[in-house]
């Protein structure tokens, strides 16, 4: 084999696959909130578990590791880096192996900070979802998935809370008219502020354009330029097994203002707290077997 062939696409794909496999095998399931079974053959993540955490199909993970998928997108690479807990240098190496430019600050960031990742890890009994500044879901814990549905595989529009609220079917969250008006005004203001901060992000620009063309309600709010913010409120979520749950919704932002952290809680000793604990057990039991690849997704719901 010539030196040129040795550094060609097949060699790069092989190196990418080896790196992904090595990183996958070093992550203990317990470190990412997955149950540890006694009959595991390896201490690290299974391919199906990495696929679930990254929001891609298990078949695609296999193709990447075997060198058969040669051009993963920047979105997929970012999701894999988050799922594998890669350090900054490792993340840069992942993008280099895939011959993809690492996203710069001119693009909307989608990366979890270490503190937010620890928050996800250390609140297993509380539904927590993390969204980027455009309200696209980028990380969540198991109880969040059990409560609102497993949002994998990833498709930006299917994971975007604003797109689903204004263009998708009704979800399990029930708003009063006043709550809905406050929510819509707040998220549209959020999106306008984010668009101002990242004016050259192509996906963000397409999202706003498509929302304005698709939803008259969004277009009217966008043109109104109303300034608003999120406030603590109680929402009712209708779950098919646990029934209606009345939960307090806190929306926090990390110091860089590029992540929104949604935390759903119930008063201790309440009926909702008891049923949320049962749902946590149900969700844990559902996660004990490797998930099967899925073609459909449950959209995120309006907060």
The residue among 159, 170, 148 whose CA lies nearest residue 239 is 148
> For 221-236, what is each residue's pLDDT tens digit?
999 888 877 777 788 8
* Phi–psi pair at 4, nearest 5 degrees: -65, -45
> For 9-63, what is each residue's pLDDT tens digit?
555 568 899 999 999 999 888 777 777 676 667 778 889 989 988 889 999 999 9
Percent of the chain with pLDDT over 90: 32
Higher-pLDDT residue of 88, 90:
90
The C-alpha atoms of residue 45 and residue 302 are separated, in whole angstroms, by 31
CB contact at 8 A, 244 and 236:
yes
> For 99-118, what is each residue's pLDDT tens digit?
888 776 667 888 888 888 88
Q: Retrieve residue 83's tokens.
A: 């799922």
The C-alpha atoms of residue 243 and residue 147 are separated, in whole angstroms, by 10
Q: Is 255 exposed, middle or buried (0-12, 13-18, 19+ CB in 10 A)?
A: exposed
Q: How open is the CA angle 45-49-51, to the nearest 5 degrees?
A: 120
Residue 220 pLDDT greater than 80, yes or no: yes
The C-alpha atoms of residue 82 and residue 17 are separated, in whole angstroms, by 17
What mean pLDDT do residues 60-72 have? 89
Q: What is the DSSP letter of 29?
A: G
Higher-pLDDT residue of 32, 262:
262
């Amino acid at each position: 084999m010539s030196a040129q062939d040795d550094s060609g696409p097949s060699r790069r794909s092989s190196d990418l696959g080896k790196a992904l496999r090595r990183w996958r095998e070093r992550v203990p399931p317990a470190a990412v909130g997955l149950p540890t079974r006694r009959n595991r053959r390896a201490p690290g993540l299974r391919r199906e578990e990495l696929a679930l955490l990254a929001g891609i199909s298990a078949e695609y993970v296999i193709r990447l590791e075997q060198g058969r998928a040669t051009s993963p997108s920047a979105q997929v690479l970012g999701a894999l880096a988050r799922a594998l807990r890669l350090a900054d240098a490792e993340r840069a190496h992942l993008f280099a192996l895939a011959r993809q430019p690492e996203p710069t600050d001119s693009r909307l960031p989608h990366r979890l900070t270490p503190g937010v990742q620890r928050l996800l890890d250390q609140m297993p009994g509380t539904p927590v979802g993390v969204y980027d500044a455009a309200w696209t879901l980028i990380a969540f814990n198991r109880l969040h998935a059990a409560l609102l549905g497993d949002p994998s595989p990833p498709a930006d529009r299917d994971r975007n809370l604003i797109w689903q609220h204004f263009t998708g079917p009704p979800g399990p969250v029930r708003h009063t008219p006043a709550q809905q008006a406050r929510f819509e005004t707040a998220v549209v203001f959020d999106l306008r502020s984010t668009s101002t901060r990242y004016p050259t992000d192509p996906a963000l620009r397409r999202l706003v354009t498509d929302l304005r063309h698709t939803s008259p309600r969004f277009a009217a709010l966008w043109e109104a330029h109303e300034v608003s913010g999120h406030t603590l409120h109680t929402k009712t979520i209708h779950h098919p097994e646990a029934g209606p749950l009345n939960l307090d919704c806190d929306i926090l932002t990390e110091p860089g203002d590029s992540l929104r952290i949604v935390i759903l809680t119930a008063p201790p000793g309440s009926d909702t707290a008891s049923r949320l604990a049962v749902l946590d057990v149900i969700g844990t039991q559902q996660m004990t077997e490797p998930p099967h690849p899925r073609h459909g997704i449950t959209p995120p719901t309006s907060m």
